Structure 1
């Protein structure tokens, strides 16, 4: 039988102060709470902004854009998210200034390269037609000062770049001017219709 040498200390028993455990739990709870708050508050969305000026009709890819993390809330769907950049890029349907967030309304189809913007005046614009809408331009040729011939499609699947309501106390019957992106090959036909006082209408494209 082994005996403890005289004068040797007995092993110290391990004892934890309950206050220490409570302190550890409080610190851990605080850390978890802060992390949860940060995760809740950090509701930023990654969207694209223009690296430089984006011009109407310009083909745009990711090299023309920069990523911005911003808080947009419910307005987030109005801007081009990083995951929504079309394969092969897109064509800008209106100008975007450097640093400006890229609205989804300026994202045109890549097939719109080689297009030009023309300005037309219309009497009434459908409420559903906004920037970025795809529309058909119809023209009814003037037969005299107050009569027009049968309308026909002048340009199919054009893109609305911008709309401008006429202001002032006195306005022309054609109260809305519209910037429309059309194929360059159709520009002459549109200008000819305008010069000939044809009645031009804009109709949402069914395609």
Structure 2
């Protein structure tokens, strides 16, 4: 006589262990492929020259296209989409059509009309002065009596390109500053240096202050 227990055992679903293992392998393989594809799609949007951009050209974001590329750590060397200044950029070296726009090939300032002049500092530089800071160059001519005439601004808003700290036994112990100066001001600044005029660098006021 067939009991209710026997009928229940025959009707129960029996899962083959091999089927369970197969399902697990398929799921794992699918997840692995998805992870690989996701990893390959880690491109970053960078700017690309729509046409050839000659050195000295002032460009706006409309002059560029964007393209998603995989650059890894090298992405920091290119202009990333969204990082374009509203005032535009100046091309420092020619960028060919279709070329990614390198950071080193553009600048916020047109440096074609600038020259570098090294100016010794008469004393410690202000704490808020560093590379990239804009300063006014004040000069005062020495008088015959050993004093100085009232100081005047010789160069306004000169950008500091570098700071040179004197080192070694033969150094004078002072600090020199590399300034980016408009070419039309170079002769006057060199003349002030040659004459021994007192020269001081004062942080320039931001526009609008």
Q: So what's the TM-score if we normalise by structure 1?
A: 0.59
Contact 2:134 2:157 in 1 (8 A): yes
- 2:24 aligned to which of 19, 22, 31: 22
- Structure 1 position 205, deviation (Å): 1.3
- Structure 1 position 172, deviation (Å): 2.7
Contact 1:46 1:70 in 2 (8 A): no
- Structure 1 position 81, deviation (Å): 2.9
Find the counterpart in structure 1 of residue 190 from structure 2: 191
Q: CA separation in 1, counterparts of 2:165 and 2:107?
A: 23
Find the counterpart in structure 1 of residue 156 from structure 2: 156
**Structure 1 residues 146 and 61, CA, compared in 2 at 3 Å: closer, same or farther?**
same
Contact 1:46 1:69 in 2 (8 A): no
Q: So what's the TM-score if we normalise by structure 2?
A: 0.59
Q: Runs of 5+ in structure 1 lacking a partner?
A: 1-15, 49-57, 93-100
Q: Runs of 5+ in structure 2 lacking a partner?
A: 1-15, 49-54, 60-68, 93-101
Give me the CA root mean square deviation. Answer: 4.1
Contact 1:132 1:160 in 2 (8 A): yes
**Structure 1 residues 125 and 30, CA, compared in 2 at 3 Å: closer, same or farther?**
same
Q: CA separation in 2, counterparts of 1:133 and 1:81?
A: 22
> Which structure 2 residues correspond to residues 173-192 of structure 1 after superposition, within 5 A?
175-192=174-191
> Aligned pairs, how many?
164
- Structure 1 position 166, deviation (Å): 1.0
